[in-house]
Chain A
Amino acid sequence: MPVFKAPFNGYSVKFSPFYESRLAVATAQNFGILGNGKIHVLELSPGPPGVTESVSFDTADAVYDVSWSESHDSVLVAALGDGSVKIYDTSLPPPSNPIRSFQEHAREVHSVDYNPTRRDSFLTASWDDTVKLWAMDLPASIRTFKEHAYCVYQAVWNPKHGDVFASASGDCTLRIWDVREPGSTMIIPGHDFEILSCDWNKYDDCVLATSSVDKTIKVWDVRSYRAPLAVLNGHGYAVRKVKFSPHRRSLIASCSYDMSVCLWDYMVEDALVGRYDHHTEFAVGIDMSVLVEGLMASTGWDELVYVWQQGMDPRAS
């Protein structure tokens, strides 16, 4: 399975929704504490080395997350540590990039998510406690959602309802929002510690998963949100990211500070169905390809990006 070695510490990895063999990686120098950043666009190739970089973009500050546009195949959106949101066109050479830069967030932008149903807007979540809604061709954000009492670590669109999204925050709550409403429509006090990530079930639009500093992943149904559907234990440290499979109803992938990537099936007794220990530092980014079933990618602070098929060993050559 191919490995890509980045110059900086990995933060996020995302498969392109248009090209099966393309993915983007967000990286940051000096673990994202202080320094530059870099966005890599990688191409998978049939023969060795398996993965090559097709283009990269340098940034002044750390890149914490990246998201591909669902409307334009060559465009991606980046979330930066200096509070800016930048748009890159991979069909243009690096000197012509970025094509947009929005400076509105007062703190680091931790995540960006493009709307997969409406395809015209994206969300950014920031440590300034707000979530912002943007369209690519507008010069300013459309809306700012300010309710959380602490850093918002992730905001994710519902895969079926283009107006609904969820946000995970360090104030230990998960909030459900509808962009047509003035404020959040549900507040779920999901964990006793910070909630670092959330993701919707692609096949059940009322189910979502949250991952927290308390090392657990909880699966919730918004129709009965007082108690979780499942609590997934198994990680040794905080769970940094959680992702529902685009192909299997109850399959969840997660990555954690215990350096492992785990696969879970929350509907069975023994939920942990897979575990990969290929990273040698915190595993912080994970993605599952929408176009190729079973294809996964992960990245971590060990500056490595692995791409592999479920069932294979990521480190096998």
Chain B
Amino acid sequence: MATHPQTHENPSISEATNEVQQGSETAKLESVFKNSEPIREDQIQNAIKFLSHPRVRGSPVIHRRSFLERKGLTKEEIDEAFRRVPDPSPSEQTAVTSQDGQQAVQGQIQAVQHAPAPVVMIPPPSLRSRFRWYHAVLAVGVLAASGAGTAVFVKRSLIPRLKSWVRKIMLEEESDPLEKADAKPSLAEEAVAAAKAASAAASDVARVSQEMMKTKSEERKNFEDLMQLLGVQVQEMKSLSNNIRYLERNSNNLPKVYSANQEVYSGLVKTPAERRPYANGSNIDYDSRSARSTSPPAPPADSSQPPHPKSYMDIMSMIQRGEKPSNIREINDMPPNPNQQLPNPRIAPKAKPWDYGQPPQDESSNGPWWQQKNPRSADFGYETTTARSIGIQNETSTTEPAAIQKQRSWVPPQPPPVVMPEAAEAIRRPKPQAKIDQEVVAAASDDQSGVSDELQKVTKFSESGGDGSGRLEITEIQEETEHQHIGQEGN
């Protein structure tokens, strides 16, 4: 795994990373922002299992990659897993464009990805999808109820009819024996007539039930048509607003052709500009995209949504109804002179405070209000109730000579009483510090003459940063003990 060829890197960087693997410190800096971990075979095996799953194979490649990335696999591991699992041909992916296929894909992705985080971007699209489902459920319920109702009605009407018919026959039979002798041939006739009537009634019933079925299916069809029309209308709304936007723009903006993956993912025909959401595996259909409905990103659905301003909800509902807010003006914000020269800079760029390697200790309080450092700048203006007591503590601390305030520009909140300062220091010492110290030691011991400027800068910085932070820690703890004394005395 360590010999995994890094063919995509230019020679100098690959040399550098090889050197790092050999323990050298040259250009170690460059590889800090790169993965230097070896490839983990167990992760690759998991990835292969995932990729070999038949449901996963139908999903777009970018979603598979994104899933593996979120599981913590490195690029190399993902590439290796893809290499080992034969990729389905692109034509397979594009072939899955039918509605059913897309819905199946959506269902698969949801099933395969563990914990499909139900990130709801904004309420309206989810409302809309929920609205859809609700609608469908309602429709099915209504149809079932009507079917049951007609069945019951038919039964109820059929049985009385039968009964009355039977009673009629019984009455006729009763009156028959009187005329039996004469009525024999007529009885036969009557029997025939009765049979005819029975068959007629049966056919009537059959016809009626058939009509019922027809009306039911018609109703269902009508409802589906309605849903389709609604969807078409929404599409038109969206495309209209998009067209408006595009018309206002420069014509050399070629609409981006979205990959087949994204078209497969959603399920509706769309213009290139529409967003196909991925949203952590939960497939929220963004139908109401006449406006930027993905703004702002909302918290997870399992916790409460942040209360949006009322006017925000008003505007969202306006957009969904297809209305445009009336306060929008037509503005031409294209450059009047695209070849306008950049101005001559009047001031030279200033050095950044962090270029000097350590945080500045400047405490100037002269000049305009924005430069005046609050003598109580340690107190950040707590507004929480717990903080108020700390604020009071800090206020009492201002009775302390300004010397301490000048030495430290801010005071941390009151920690519990420190019994053993040495232990407190050991706990407080942040872990990265140890790492930086190690690097400093390693760098110092390295005697290569060809060390880069950046490396020098880094070691200098680490040293100063390390010392500075250490100083900070020690004085912090000393200060805290003093503060406690003050606090206790003050109380």
The answer to whether B383 and A309 have CB atoms under 8 Å apart is no
In the complex the two chains form, what is the Cα distance from A35 to B278 in whole Å? 26
The answer to whether A73 and B352 have CB atoms under 8 Å apart is no
Binary contact readout A79-100 vs B (1 if CB under 8 angstroms, 0 otherwise) = 0011100100101100111111
Known: A70-B349, A107-B273. A270 touches B415 (CB 8 A): yes
A142 is an interface residue with CB less than 8 A from chain B: no
In the complex the two chains form, what is the Cα distance from A265 to B408 in whole Å? 15
The answer to whether A248 and B359 have CB atoms under 8 Å apart is yes
Within 8 A of A (CB), among B404-449: 409-410, 412-413, 415, 428, 430-432, 435
Question: Which residues on the A side are within 8 Å of B71 (C-beta)?
Answer: 189
In the complex the two chains form, what is the Cα distance from A291 to B368 in whole Å? 13
Interface residue from A100, A215, A258 paired with B338 (Cβ < 8 Å): A100
CB closest residue in chain B, given A64: B295
B428 to chain A, nearest CB (A): 8
The answer to whether B297 and A196 have CB atoms under 8 Å apart is yes
The answer to whether A127 and B371 have CB atoms under 8 Å apart is no
Question: Which residues on the B side are within 8 Å of A152 (C-beta)?
Answer: none
Question: Which residues on the A side are within 8 Å of B117 (C-beta)?
Answer: 192-193
B130 is an interface residue with CB less than 8 A from chain A: no
In the complex the two chains form, what is the Cα distance from A257 to B300 in whole Å? 13
Binary contact readout B25-49 vs A (1 if CB under 8 angstroms, 0 otherwise) = 0000110111100000000000000
CB closest residue in chain A, given B331: A60
A125 is an interface residue with CB less than 8 A from chain B: no
B105 is an interface residue with CB less than 8 A from chain A: no
B261 to chain A, nearest CB (A): 10
B324 is an interface residue with CB less than 8 A from chain A: yes
Known: A73-B346, A149-B63. A193 touches B374 (CB 8 A): no
A226 is an interface residue with CB less than 8 A from chain B: yes
Interface residue from A186, A257, A258 paired with B296 (Cβ < 8 Å): A257
The answer to whether B376 and A34 have CB atoms under 8 Å apart is no
Interface residue from B75, B312, B336, B379 paired with A187 (Cβ < 8 Å): B75
In the complex the two chains form, what is the Cα distance from A211 to B446 in whole Å? 38
The answer to whether A222 and B32 have CB atoms under 8 Å apart is yes
The answer to whether B353 and A202 have CB atoms under 8 Å apart is yes
B110 is an interface residue with CB less than 8 A from chain A: no
Question: Which residues on the B side are within 8 Å of A248 (C-beta)?
Answer: 359, 409-410
In the complex the two chains form, what is the Cα distance from A184 to B338 in whole Å? 33
Question: Which residues on the B side are within 8 Å of A70 (C-beta)?
Answer: 349
The answer to whether A193 and B119 have CB atoms under 8 Å apart is yes
CB closest residue in chain A, given B373: A294
Within 8 A of A (CB), among B65-105: 65-66, 69-72, 74-75
Question: Which residues on the A side are within 8 Å of B316 (C-beta)?
Answer: 33
Question: Which residues on the B side are within 8 Å of A270 (C-beta)?
Answer: 412-413, 415
In the complex the two chains form, what is the Cα distance from A202 to B350 in whole Å? 16
B181 is an interface residue with CB less than 8 A from chain A: no
Question: Which residues on the B side are within 8 Å of A238 (C-beta)?
Answer: 296-299, 306
CB closest residue in chain A, given B295: A32
In the complex the two chains form, what is the Cα distance from A137 to B454 in whole Å? 28
The answer to whether A150 and B371 have CB atoms under 8 Å apart is no
Within 8 A of B (CB), among A231-279: 236-238, 240, 246-249, 257-258, 263, 265, 267-270, 273-277
Question: Which residues on the B side are within 8 Å of A310 (C-beta)?
Answer: 374, 377, 380-381
Q: Which of B8-16, B137-145, B149-157, B197-205 contacts A (4 or more CB under 8 A)?
A: B8-16
Interface residue from B8, B34, B66, B362 paired with A293 (Cβ < 8 Å): B362
The answer to whether B294 and A151 have CB atoms under 8 Å apart is yes
Interface residue from A17, A107, A193, A295 paired with B349 (Cβ < 8 Å): A17
The answer to whether B335 and A309 have CB atoms under 8 Å apart is no
A98 to chain B, nearest CB (A): 5
A154 to chain B, nearest CB (A): 12
Question: Which residues on the A side are within 8 Å of B384 (C-beta)?
Answer: 275
B342 is an interface residue with CB less than 8 A from chain A: yes
CB closest residue in chain A, given B119: A193
Question: Which residues on the B side are within 8 Å of A229 (C-beta)?
Answer: 430-432
B319 is an interface residue with CB less than 8 A from chain A: yes
A84 to chain B, nearest CB (A): 8
The answer to whether B383 and A276 have CB atoms under 8 Å apart is yes
Within 8 A of B (CB), among A143-201: 149-151, 153, 158-161, 164, 170-173, 176, 178, 180-187, 189, 192-194, 196
Within 8 A of A (CB), among B333-357: 333-338, 340, 342-343, 345-347, 349-350, 352-354
Taking A35-B328, A309-B370 as given, write out 10 further A-B residue pairs in contact, using a Cβ cutoff of 8 Å, ordered by the A residue number: A31-B309, A35-B325, A61-B333, A202-B352, A215-B299, A223-B435, A224-B435, A237-B306, A238-B299, A284-B296
Binding site for B on A (CB under 8 A): 17-18, 20-21, 29-36, 44-46, 50, 57-62, 70-75, 81-83, 86, 89, 91-92, 95-101, 103, 106-108, 116, 119, 127-128, 136-137, 149-151, 153, 158-161, 164, 170-173, 176, 178, 180-187, 189, 192-194, 196, 202-207, 213-215, 221-224, 226, 229, 236-238, 240, 246-249, 257-258, 263, 265, 267-270, 273-277, 281-282, 284, 289-295, 301, 307, 309-314
Chain A to chain B: the 10 pairs with minimum beta-carbon distance, closest first: A274-B380, A149-B66, A311-B377, A106-B256, A311-B374, A202-B354, A99-B340, A257-B306, A237-B306, A46-B368
Binding site for A on B (CB under 8 A): 8-10, 13, 29-30, 32-35, 62-63, 65-66, 69-72, 74-75, 115, 117, 119, 245, 248-250, 252-253, 255-256, 272-273, 275, 277-280, 290-300, 303, 306, 309, 311-312, 315-316, 319, 324-325, 327-338, 340, 342-343, 345-347, 349-350, 352-354, 358-360, 362, 368-374, 376-384, 387, 409-410, 412-413, 415, 428, 430-432, 435, 454, 457-458, 461, 465, 468-469
Q: Show 22 residue pairs from A and B whose CB-CB distance is below 8 angstroms, ordered by the A residue.
A: A30-B328, A32-B296, A35-B328, A36-B329, A61-B333, A86-B335, A89-B342, A101-B334, A150-B277, A150-B279, A159-B352, A194-B297, A204-B432, A204-B465, A214-B300, A237-B299, A257-B299, A270-B413, A275-B387, A281-B309, A292-B371, A294-B373
